[in-house]
């Protein structure tokens, strides 16, 4: 059964969960958008144009500070999905900041341990129940939780297939 609304993935493109969200959205044929720090900075692409060379739908914030990117991506979405693994969000100040910002804006938030067998079901249910047209996906960087990109992308590919325009 497919969802009855189009979903746009909002992410800043940092390594780890952010990047997994962008890549899973592309694989599903879903639109993506989001803010990245000035110069397209990411930890694996520190020089301009950085992320923008690979993800042209992202926009640069006026600041090189990643905090602005995090805040603006949460602000510009209908809710926040944070994916993590056994390390939790405590390993990531950016993920903690995203959750705090979403709560301050009264946005719905779910934190999902992708190693939980129910991770796909929980994430899917959250997205369907919101019926938001855009959702911010965030989580730790790859350097904060090695291997998280691969695990997060696998979960997101399953979940986003329901929203896919690719048949």
Q: Mean pLDDT, the chain, as a whole number?
A: 95
pTM of the model: 0.95
pLDDT at 86: 87
pLDDT at 72: 98
In a domain, 12, yes or no: no
In a domain, 18, yes or no: no
In a domain, 13, yes or no: no
In a domain, 10, yes or no: no
Type and span of the H or E element at 111: strand 109-113
Q: Which domain holds residue 35?
A: 24-163
Q: Give helix 93-104 / helix 66-75 axis angle, nearest 10°.
A: 40
In a domain, 159, yes or no: yes
pLDDT at 143: 96
In a domain, 104, yes or no: yes
Q: What is the pLDDT of residues 97-112, one digit of tens each?
A: 999 999 999 999 999 9
In a domain, 3, yes or no: no
List the alpha helices (DSSP H) in the chain: 17-28, 66-75, 93-104, 119-130, 148-160
- Report the CATH number that the domain containing residue 53 is assigned in CATH: 3.40.50.450
Number of domains in the chain: 1
In a domain, 140, yes or no: yes
């Amino acid at each position: 059964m497919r969802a009855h609304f189009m979903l746009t993935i909002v992410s800043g493109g940092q390594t780890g969960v952010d990047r997994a969200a962008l890549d899973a959205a592309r694989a599903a044929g879903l639109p993506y958008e989001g803010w990245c720090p000035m110069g397209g900075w990411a930890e694996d692409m520190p020089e301009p144009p950085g992320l923008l060379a690979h993800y042209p739908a992202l926009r640069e914030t006026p600041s090189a500070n990643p905090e602005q990117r995090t805040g603006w991506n949460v602000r510009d979405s209908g809710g926040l999905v944070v994916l993590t693994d056994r390390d939790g969000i405590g390993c990531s100040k950016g993920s903690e900041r995203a959750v705090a910002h979403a709560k301050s804006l009264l946005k719905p938030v779910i934190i999902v341990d992708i190693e939980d067998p129910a991770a796909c079901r929980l994430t899917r249910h959250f997205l369907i129940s919101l019926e938001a047209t855009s959702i911010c996906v965030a989580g730790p960087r790859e350097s904060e939780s090695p291997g998280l990109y691969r695990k997060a992308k696998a979960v997101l590919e399953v979940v986003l297939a329901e929203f896919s325009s690719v048949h």
